[in-house]
Amino acid sequence: MALANLKGRAAFIFTEIDFDIDQIVGVKNIKIQDIEELANAAMQQYDPDFRNQVKPGDLLIGNNNFGYGHPHYPPMKAMRHMGVSGVIAESFAPGYWRGEIAMGFPQVPCPGILDSVNRWDELEVDWTECEVRNLTQGVTLSFDPLAQGDIEMLESGGLVPFLHSKIGGKPDGVQP
Q: What residues have CB less than 8 Å from 163, skipping those under 6 apart?
A: none
Structural domain contains residue 20: yes
Structural domain contains residue 170: no
Q: Please give the pLDDT value at position 108.
A: 98
Q: Please give the pLDDT value at position 170.
A: 57
Find the domain containing 59 and state its range.
6-145
The CATH number assigned to the domain holding 104 equals 3.20.19.10
Domains: count for the chain: 1
Residue 169 has pLDDT above 70, yes or no: no
131-134/139-142 β-pairing: antiparallel
Structural domain contains residue 132: yes
Q: Please give the pLDDT value at position 99.
A: 95
Q: Please give the pLDDT value at position 172.
A: 52
Write phi, then psi, for 117 (nearest 5 degrees).
-145, 145
- 3-state secondary structure (DSSP) of residue 168: coil
pLDDT per residue as tens digits for the range 44-62: 999 999 999 999 999 999 9
For residues 102 and 166, the model is more confident at 102
d(CA 29, CA 38): 7
Structural domain contains residue 153: no
Structural domain contains residue 169: no
pLDDT per residue as tens digits for the range 131-155: 999 999 999 999 999 999 999 999 9
Alpha-carbon distances of 146 from 68, 113, 114, 131, rounded to whole Å: 20, 17, 20, 12
Question: Per DSSP, what are the bridge partners of residue 42?
Answer: none
Structural domain contains residue 118: yes
Q: Please give the pLDDT value at position 107.
A: 97
Structural domain contains residue 87: yes
Q: What angle do CA 159, 11, 152 make, to 5 degrees?
A: 20
Q: Please give the pLDDT value at position 145.
A: 96
* Contact by Cβ (8 Å): 56, 79: no
